[in-house]
Structure 1
Amino acid sequence: MEVLVVSKSFIIREAMEIFFENNFDNCIVKKNKELKEIMDIDLSLTEIVFVEAENDVVEHLVKIKKYYKHLKIIVLNNKNDKSILLNCFKSKIEGCILDIHDKEDLIYIINTIRKGKKHYDLDMLYDIVEDQLYDNNIELLTNREKEVLDMVGLGFTNKDIAKNLYLSENTIKKHITNILCKLDMRNRKDLIIYIKENNIKMKNVI
């Protein structure tokens, strides 16, 4: 098979050349530094394009696939960029992988893609879906509930929140119960962890 490796890093270019030649029979490896330059290369005999992710990687790959529909494209998302993986998924790019620590795993992924299947990092896909579901559910909250949620994330007690918002503690408890229900979370701890992990800040309340 013929493979094109595209990366600005000579280390990646050289390492992937050795990898493909050592693990696949009759493998011819070509290398290129810039993705945008391969628009002028004849890829009619190329089976796989292995490309290191850049911000505009998917935009260029979609253009290339219009001319060479047979290509199997694997994007190395070594910066763990969720937006790149999501764009690859939406654009039906064959594969988007994170750092692979085991050679056999990468061989398996490549063979799977050669058979016409796709491969994406499932953990990151799950995170993306979870983020989107949460963001959609956030819109279900009232403005007051968003204020309360914001203050929960800052570590305020119910008593502190009630004092700042000039409400009773019972009212704050009801708001938090509604928030947990709408966001499908179990307890206050879940809310605090998720807000901190995703750096969510809906409005300044202090």
Structure 2
Amino acid sequence: MIRLLLADDEAMMRFGIRAILDADPAFEVVAEAGDGREAVDLAISHRPDVALLDIRMPKLDGLAAAAEMRKVAPETAIVMLTTFGEDDYIAKALEVGASGFLLKSGDPRELIAGIHAVADGAAYLSPKVAQRVITQLAGGQMAKGAAARDRITGLTDREREVLALLGAGMSNAEIARRLFIVEGTVKAYVSAILTRLDVRNRVQAAIVAYEAGLVSGRQDQER
């Protein structure tokens, strides 16, 4: 059972998301919050596996709430719920260790798939969100490219292959199929990559892959 915390200041939005979550027997919503401060308090008391946080909330916004949760409830994975036009917020959320980014207006199946992925220790970005993040990062790619290329010099050729596919948004299962290896081997490669790059999660590793030139915008658009 995956225990969830749902935080959004709009009651109707919480109701709609809750209806989607209740359709999956693997989910249990253990708490709901109407603001960021309440969300942090509930994360401490309920210790959910995954927290779904709206970015814009009163008292404490989603970014600040996520930052606090990483300190007081580090075992709770964080998924940010976003709308278009919030690119700056999404980029900042990367810095506080969020593992998922989903659009409120997206396919309900994306929400379910994203939660399962994050609960399993992976990361999940809505394809549309991923493309917008990459577009935003593109402006500073040249300045950061040299540093990113230095960071990946310690990776083996196979690890670079895995990193490139990870950066393109592929899941472990998809990478395994592409490289004709078992999923457990992919997980081992990803773990080693995160350690060698000194990053918190797959999202941050994907950014390094993009900045180092392992992933092109064209590849992402074709997915």
Is the TM value for this pair above 0.5? yes
Contact conserved, 1:21 with 1:27, CA < 8 A, in 2?
yes
Counterpart-to-counterpart distance in 1, 2:46 and 2:106: 31
* Higher Cα Rg, which structure: 1
**Secondary structure of the structure 2 residue equivalent to 1:46:** coil
Match of 2:75 in 1: 70
Contact conserved, 1:4 with 1:29, CA < 8 A, in 2?
yes
What is the CA-CA distance between 1:8 and the residue it aligns to? 1.0
Residue of structure 2 aligned with 1:123, choices 120, 131, 151: 131
1:148-196: CA deviations, max 9, x gaps? Answer: xxxxxxxxxxxxxxxxxxxxxxxxxxxxxxxxxxxxxxxxxxxxxxxxx
Map 1:177-192 → 2, pairs under 5 A: none
Counterpart-to-counterpart distance in 1, 2:10 and 2:4: 17
Counterpart-to-counterpart distance in 1, 2:62 and 2:27: 28
Q: Which stretches in structure 2 are left out of the alignment for 5+ residues?
A: 145-223
Contact conserved, 1:17 with 1:29, CA < 8 A, in 2?
no
What TM-score results when the alignment is normalised by the length of structure 2?
0.54
What is the CA-CA distance between 1:88 and the residue it aligns to? 1.3
What is the CA-CA distance between 1:40 and the residue it aligns to? 2.9
More helix as a share of residues: 2
Counterpart-to-counterpart distance in 1, 2:102 and 2:85: 9
Q: Which stretches in structure 1 are left out of the alignment for 5+ residues?
A: 137-206
Counterpart-to-counterpart distance in 1, 2:30 and 2:41: 17
State yes or no: 1:54 paired with 2:59: no
Match of 2:20 in 1: 19
Counterpart-to-counterpart distance in 1, 2:12 and 2:64: 24
Contact conserved, 2:66 with 2:96, CA < 8 A, in 1?
no
Larger RCO, structure (CA 8 Å, separation 6 or more):
2
**Secondary structure of the structure 1 residue equivalent to 2:139:** helix
1:96-136: CA deviations, max 9, x gaps? Answer: 22244322222211111111111232201211111334899
Change (3 A) 1:104 1:39: closer
Contact conserved, 1:44 with 1:68, CA < 8 A, in 2?
no
RMSD between aligned residues: 2.3
What is the CA-CA distance between 1:66 and the residue it aligns to? 0.5
Please list every run of at least 4 consecutive aligned residues from structure 1 whose deviation after the TM superposition is greater than 6 angstroms: none
Q: Which amino acid aligns with 1:73?
A: I
Q: Percent identity?
A: 12
